[in-house]
């Protein structure tokens, strides 16, 4: 079932550009599928195929949200998430762990590594869109509040 055109409202970032969403997964078919799922949101999608490239891409492109696979080469998603959340420059970027792992321990480990949300594969398209929109909106509101507070100093 497809959404009617225009039903998903794009979230604009402070620079009035589409939000950047980084999809990190070592499976090119999953990257393509998730990118297609995000089309109604009018976001700019960037991709990474392993953990190290994910870290480099975050530093270079400063995404507004990350969809992060758990099982990747050159740093697991748990490691990448932990490293990003420990870094003051990136800790406010929402991270949704997307994985075939669906044991309670995996969800707990995702939370312990700092993930903001967790989705199991196969990903439900509507659930993905709802969570991405919600976390982008929260990020936008936090950024606006931070800019307001900085202006009052």
**Going from the N-terminus, what domains does the chain have, and what CATH number goes with each?**
20-147 (3.40.50.2300)
**Confidence (pLDDT) at 144:** 82
Residue 118 has pLDDT above 50, yes or no: yes
**Confidence (pLDDT) at 106:** 73
The pTM (predicted TM-score) of the whole model is 0.85
- Kindly list the distances between the CA atom of residue 48 and the CA atoms of 29, 32, 34, 110, 126, in Å, as whole numbers in the listed order: 13, 12, 13, 19, 23
Residue 13 pLDDT level (bands cut at 50, 70, 90): low
Residue pLDDT, tens place only, 54-98: 999 999 999 999 999 999 999 999 999 999 999 999 999 999 999
Are 43 and 19 within 8 A, CB to CB? yes
Ramachandran bin of 19, using left for φ above 0, alpha for ψ from -120 to 50, beta for the remaining angles: beta
CA atoms of 71 and 80, how far apart (whole Å): 11
Q: What is the 3-state secondary structure (H, E, C) of 87-109?
A: CCCCCCCCEEEEECCCCHHHHHH
């Amino acid at each position: 079932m497809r959404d009617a055109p225009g039903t998903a409202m794009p979230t604009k970032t402070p620079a009035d550009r589409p939000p950047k969403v980084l999809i990190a997964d070592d499976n090119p078919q999953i990257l393509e599928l998730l990118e297609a799922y995000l089309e109604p949101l009018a976001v700019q999608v960037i991709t990474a195929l392993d953990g190290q490239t994910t870290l480099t891409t975050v530093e270079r492109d400063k995404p507004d949200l990350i969809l992060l696979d758990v099982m990747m080469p050159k740093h697991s998603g748990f490691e990448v998430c932990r490293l990003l959340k420990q870094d003051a420059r990136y800790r406010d970027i929402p991270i949704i762990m997307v994985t075939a792992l669906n044991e309670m321990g995996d969800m707990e480990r995702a939370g312990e590594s700092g993930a903001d949300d967790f989705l199991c594969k196969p990903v439900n398209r509507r659930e993905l869109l709802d969570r991405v929109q919600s976390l982008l909106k929260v990020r936008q509101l936090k950024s606006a509040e931070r800019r307001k507070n900085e202006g009052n100093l």
